[in-house]
Structure 1
Amino acid sequence: MYKDVTCPHCGKTFETYCNPVPTVDMLIYQQGKGVVLIKRKNPPYGWALPGGFVDCGETVEQAVVREMKEETDLDVTIQGMLGVYSDPKRDPRMHTMSVVFIGSTEDPDALCAGDDAGEARFFQRGKLPESIAFDHATILQDFWRWLDARGGVV
């Protein structure tokens, strides 16, 4: 898809190609504790799954492991992929598409907010915060259905 952009320097209009920006998120699940959410320090505010942008030269798997360490200080193991979420309205800042992984950690007590996370906590099903950013409430609903189908085991 092309869109017209105006150059801020010369004022001329030109066409540029518009692509969604790749991101990753992870549902870090610990039986008895729930899933990890972070409280965002930057807009859009609210609680969210830990995640972020894929850097150039990085696979989505590398990106999600890096982002989990940066935002939660957890070393994670990827258990699988929940899905890809690409609604153009999922992020109010721009069109993103997120590869959402399911993961676990050997040391859940190491959870500590970092990077752009103001707080990081485990939340149990049914006890989620009211203000959830992006489309992460939908992703959480999909995860609970996935978990139920597996008998509660990741």
Structure 2
Amino acid sequence: MASDEEAPFRQTGWAGLRARLFHLYFVLRRPMTLGVRGLIHDAATNSVFLIRHTYVPGWQLPGGGVEVGETMAEALARELYEEGNIQITDAPILKSMHFNRRASRRDHVGFYLVEHFSRTAPKLPDHEIAEAGFFPLDRLPEGTTPATLRRIAEIFANVPASPYW
């Protein structure tokens, strides 16, 4: 049985076309964006992987937008490979969902913990990533973003997850 969200697409004729056009208008007028971020934890060195973009200040967790037709886990795997040459070797753990009100009124971020991974090579700077690397939890780089610090505290200091990024 189809869900209520699929109902407009079951209709045929003028009613179906009208429903599809209304749905398209709604998506274009009020699109929701969905992103993912991963906290890659190397337990052997008690360090986390952070990146520094070329276009925004601060050190942050790798991640990005979920593309059309992509699951959140697939987006996370793609982004980690693109931004850090990191391949996930076991299922990441979805820790929390956050409303990113600084990005837009409809932006949400899925936050994952990744403890099983391999790295093919160090990430070299490119047009998107200025720097990337693993940092010990007790020596995070200056300029680590507040959101990154909050996510790290939620995982390692048992601070309750904020609903906001």
1:66 aligns with 2:78: yes
Which residue among 87, 90, 104 is the counterpart of 2:115?
Answer: 104
Calculate the aligned-residue CA RMSD, in Å.
2.5
Partner of 2:20: none
Task: Identify the residue that residue 143 of structure 1 maps to in structure 2.
Answer: 155
3-state DSSP of counterpart to 1:107: strand
**Gap change, CA 1:106 and 1:100, over 3 Å in 2:** closer
Contact 1:30 1:108 in 2 (8 A): no
Provide the C-alpha distance between the structure 2 equivalents of 1:26 and 1:36, rounded to a whole number of angstroms: 9
Q: Which has the higher helix share?
A: 2
TM-score by length of 1: 0.72
Structure 2: which 5+ residue stretches go unaligned? 1-25, 159-165
TM-score by length of structure 2 reads 0.68
- Which structure 1 segments of 5+ residues have no match? 1-14, 147-154
Q: Percent identity?
A: 23
How far did 1:87 drift?
A: 3.9
Structure 2 residue 97 is matched with structure 1 residue 84: yes
Whichever residue aligns with residue 114 of structure 2, its letter is G
The 5-angstrom pairing of residues 23-34 of structure 1 reads 23-31=35-43, 32-34=45-47
- Per-residue deviation, residues 66-124 of structure 1 (Å, max 9, x unmatched): 000000011113331111111412x4xx3421101111344347331466211111111
In structure 2, distance between residues paired with 1:78 and 1:111: 22
Note if contact 1:71-1:113 (Cα within 8 Å) is conserved in structure 2: no
Distance change (3 Å), C-alpha of 1:113 and 1:24: farther
Determine which structure has more spread, i.e. the larger CA radius of gyration.
Answer: 2
Spell out, residue by residue over 1:11-66, the C-alpha distance to the aligned partner (whole angstroms, 9 max, x if none).
xxxx9743441000001111114110001111x22111000011011010100000
Q: Hey, what's the Cα distance between the residues in 2 that align with 1:63 and 1:107?
A: 17
Tell me which of 47, 53, 62 is aligned to 2:65. 53
Q: Offset of 1:126 from its aligned partner?
A: 2.0
CA contact (8 A) 2:87 2:119 kept: no
Given that 1:34 and 1:123 are in contact with CA atoms closer than 8 Å, whether structure 2 keeps it comes out as yes
